[in-house]
Amino acid sequence: MRFFSFHLMPYIGLDPAYDGPAWVTCPNTLYDPAVGSALYNRYLDELVSAEDLGFDGVCVNEHHQNAYGLMPSPNLIASALARETTSMKIAVVGNALPLYDPPTRVAEEFALIDNISGGRLIAGMVVGGGPEYYSFSVNPAHARERFQEAHDLIVKAWTTPGPFEWVSKHFRIRYVNPWPRPVQQPHPEIWIPGAGSLETMEFVARHRYAYMGIPYFHLSVFERTFKMFRDACEAEGYEADPLQSGWLVPIYVAETDEQARREYEEHLWYFVKRLLPGITIQPPGYTSVRSLANVLKGAGTFMLNVDDWDEIVDGRYAIVGSPETVTEQLIDSIGRLGVGNVLGLFQLGSLPADLTARNLELFAAEVMPRLRAEFPSPSSRSLRDGIPAPRALARQPANP
């Protein structure tokens, strides 16, 4: 079992008079640079603190033109973290590959972070959220093709001696020859976030990467999703390693259940009612007809549609309570999901610095040790060491 502290870096203090979506068209005049500057430095401190608290790593992710998450370039944040920490993993979950042209930019920047951090990067690759296709004007009907081509190019750039020429439908590069090369050979552990699309699961299973369930759904949706992922691995002829899956969930720990709810609730609703609206916009062609039914099945339970605290708790949209309650609910949930990575969101919505710090400390001191005892597994080994190497990579000669 591995534990990660995930940060979205949300904007706090969105004008109460504004009631529109937090995405794409949320006017950037509502962003106050003085507020933002303080938030970035506070959030970096919260991420850095995870190392001394004993987390296996931290996660950052990429979103554009929104108030929900202020990391248009998670690579810049990861680069700062690489210098400020020494031992934990830094997971960028991920770079939205279709938005990078040429995608060798990702091969370069990920290798940079891996070099600066001394081989601590986890390389996440993602299709990008629906809103990003509006913000970038990249054709959503090409999202899957571009993701596939970019992934193949990046992995080839890491595993095949350069220079070589790359020609595919969306990307043509005469000389692929990125400097630097990653410290981790043949390449860093790869994580792929997914929202239940069959194509994504099959892709992750085929390459023996790790599948990260995109959050804010009822626990039953994740149960189905991770079961489908294990089935996809089985269809590829192997049993999924628990480290091949990860569950992203908001967590809040306080001394008692009552105190936890009292301190946390308003900040959670700021997240649900102010920052989530607009996140689910689905541009045309973004989801295949084949996956549409499955995505729609989960849509009804999306957190955006939840108005009631009991529903939040019962559906495990967030794990909130005393150390005992949180431990108990996590043991039960992890057991049901079969995941080997827990990606906790310890700062959510407008949760202030003092409460976030205490939440992280309580979780690390009172919950994490009990979960590690409950689900023993080597946390120091990387995923690549834990499961058989992908066939494609096994064929590649080692780089000189």
User: What are the residues binding another protein (CB under 8 A)?
Assistant: 133-134, 137-142, 278-285, 289, 292-293, 295-296, 299-300, 302, 304-305
Cβ proximity to another protein: between 281 and 331 the closer is: 281
Cβ proximity to another protein: between 7 and 144 the closer is: 144
Q: Is the dihedral of CA 254, 258, 261, 266 positive or negative?
A: negative
Smallest gap from Cβ 322 to another protein, in A, equals: 32
Q: Rounded to 5 degrees, what angle do the CA atoms 55, 106, 276 make?
A: 60
Smallest gap from Cβ 197 to another protein, in A, equals: 12
Element (H, E) at 210: strand 210-213
Residue 288: strand, helix, or coil: coil
- Beta carbons of 93 and 60 less than 8 angstroms apart: yes
Smallest gap from Cβ 63 to another protein, in A, equals: 16
Cβ proximity to another protein: between 305 and 399 the closer is: 305
Alpha carbons within 13 A on the beta-carbon side of 241: 21
Smallest gap from Cβ 300 to another protein, in A, equals: 4
Radius of gyration from C-alpha coordinates of the chain: 20
Q: Which residue type, as a one-letter code, is found at position 199?
A: E
The answer to whether the peptide bond before residue 215 is cis (omega within 30 degrees of 0) is no
Smallest gap from Cβ 217 to another protein, in A, equals: 11
Cβ proximity to another protein: between 142 and 224 the closer is: 142
Cβ proximity to another protein: between 185 and 305 the closer is: 305
- Beta carbons of 315 and 218 less than 8 angstroms apart: yes
Q: How far is CA 4 from the centre of its chain?
A: 10
Smallest gap from Cβ 212 to another protein, in A, equals: 19
- Beta carbons of 182 and 118 less than 8 angstroms apart: no
Smallest gap from Cβ 73 to another protein, in A, equals: 22
Rounded CA separation 318/268 (Å): 9
Cβ proximity to another protein: between 292 and 365 the closer is: 292
Cβ proximity to another protein: between 307 and 385 the closer is: 307
Cβ proximity to another protein: between 138 and 190 the closer is: 138
Other C-beta atoms lying within 10 Å of the C-beta of residue 180: 12
Tokens at 325, concatenated:
């309650």
Cβ proximity to another protein: between 161 and 300 the closer is: 300
Rounded CA separation 382/378 (Å): 9
Rounded CA separation 21/375 (Å): 40
Tokens at 193, concatenated:
């976030």
Helices (DSSP H) in 179-273: which residue ranges?
198-207, 219-235, 257-269
Smallest gap from Cβ 140 to another protein, in A, equals: 6
Rounded CA separation 302/14 (Å): 22
Smallest gap from Cβ 170 to another protein, in A, equals: 10
